Amino acid sequence: MSEPIITLQNVSKSFGQNSSSIQVLEDLSLDLKKGESLALVGASGSGKSTLLHVICGLEKPNKGNVYIKGVNITDLSTDERSLFRGKEVGFVYQFHHLLPDLTALENIALPAMLSGIGKEEAFEISASLLEQVNLNDKKANRPNELSGGERQRVAIARAMSNNPSCLIMDEPTGNLDKKNVENFMNLLMDMVSTREIALIIATHDNNVSSRLDKLLNLE
């Protein structure tokens, strides 16, 4: 049996507010292996985004440990977590956050170049990913020349440009209509299966959560 890509051990997270604190996550444990997917569901304010940020090391838990590929990222410094995240974690938000002055090809290539990959190789990776997300004819288009669904597909490709071991998404279909959600999920699940990565999606959309292997309801 394969080792988990993501492991949480008794993770708790609270935020201080004046003289008191608000408990957002409490004693949470989970494992996710390569090729497995998890839906995070719950009302707004239930801690979905906080959990995503803890998993990828943007925030540290108050208690517990987070492992990615066996590395305890809670033991890493801020800079070390940032470097590790750039190599092992792809992140896609509800709003694509593509750079408006760059083409689709350039947006996807940028993370690879920032991680030290040469420009020529980064653009080869970018072109291959654009083909995988069925946007080979949109290489030279800037974000404002793409539809909402196309922009999110570019965002997926960008998140995959460093060949991460896990992909984390925060409400990625929130601005898509039902047909685009279906197309998005078909493409996403195919990439997860082919690349054998771990996938976590925070979502309110039953059309998304029903496609994933596991469900965690944060209340």
The pLDDT tens digits of the residues spanning 155-166 come to: 888 988 888 899
Q: Residues of the chain with pLDDT > 90: what percent?
A: 34
Q: What number of other Cβ atoms are within 10 A of residue 202's Cβ?
A: 26
List the domain boundaries for the chain. 4-217
Tokens of 159: 């998140």
pLDDT in tens, 122-174: 999 999 999 888 888 999 999 999 988 888 889 888 988 888 899 999 888 87
Judged by phi (left if over 0) then psi (alpha if -120 to 50, else beta), residue 54 lies in alpha
Q: What is the pTM of this model?
A: 0.87
Q: Which range among 35-39, 84-88, 94-98 has the greatest average pLDDT?
A: 35-39
CA distance 106 to 195: 22
Would you state the pLDDT for residue 174? 77
Residue 46 has pLDDT above 80, yes or no: no
Which residue shows structure tokens 């909402």? 148
What is the fold of 4-217? Rossmann fold (3.40.50)
- In this prediction, residue 18 has a pLDDT band, given cuts at 50, 70 and 90, of low
pLDDT band at 19 (very low <50, low <70, confident <90, very high): low
* More confident call, 51 vs 97: 51
